[in-house]
């Protein structure tokens, strides 16, 4: 099944559950928000490549470190409530931490999250 057809796109299911529990967004709503955000940011992947540091890429995702406030801006563009864009920010960060475990880069990624936000763009 292509990533685009999976609710929540490229983001880890456990990261979705954890972020939903911490962000006052229902477990049913968060995958919808992630899909909406993916539809918004995926067409901008070339701009992300030019503007931001690419932290990781594989066959399912590309990970970018972006400036603080990025998810708030995306939330404004998508007309989201603060709790919704904060949930998106959280799920992307949780996914990065899980990816960091898999790649043995968790400490590096957590340090980066102290200064920046992360965007994971699914690859078709």
Residue 64 β-bridge partners = 54, 119
- CA nearest to 118, candidates 93, 88, 83, 86: 93
Kindly report the pTM of this predicted structure: 0.88
| Domain membership of residue 31 as a residue range | 3-122
CB 47 within 8 A of CB 101: no
pLDDT at residue 15 is higher than 90: no
What's the structural domain count of the chain? 1
What are residue 64's phi and psi, to 5 degrees? Answer: -120, 140
The encoded tokens of residue 34 equal 């992630």
For the chain, the average pLDDT equals: 88
Which burial class, exposed, middle or buried, applies to 35 when counting CB atoms under 10 A from its CB (0-12, 13-18, 19+)?
middle
pLDDT of 5: 44
């Amino acid at each position: 099944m292509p990533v685009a057809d999976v609710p929540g796109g490229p983001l880890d299911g456990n990261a979705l559950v954890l972020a939903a529990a911490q962000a006052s967004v229902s477990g049913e709503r968060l995958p919808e928000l992630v899909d909406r955000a993916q539809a918004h940011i995926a067409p901008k992947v070339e701009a992300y490549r030019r503007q931001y540091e690419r932290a990781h890429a594989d066959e399912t995702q590309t990970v970018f470190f972006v400036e603080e406030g990025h998810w708030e801006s995306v939330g404004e563009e998508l007309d989201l409530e603060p709790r919704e864009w904060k949930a998106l920010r959280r799920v992307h960060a949780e996914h990065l931490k899980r990816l960091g475990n898999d790649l043995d880069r968790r400490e590096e990624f957590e340090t980066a999250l102290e200064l920046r936000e992360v965007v994971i763009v699914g690859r078709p």
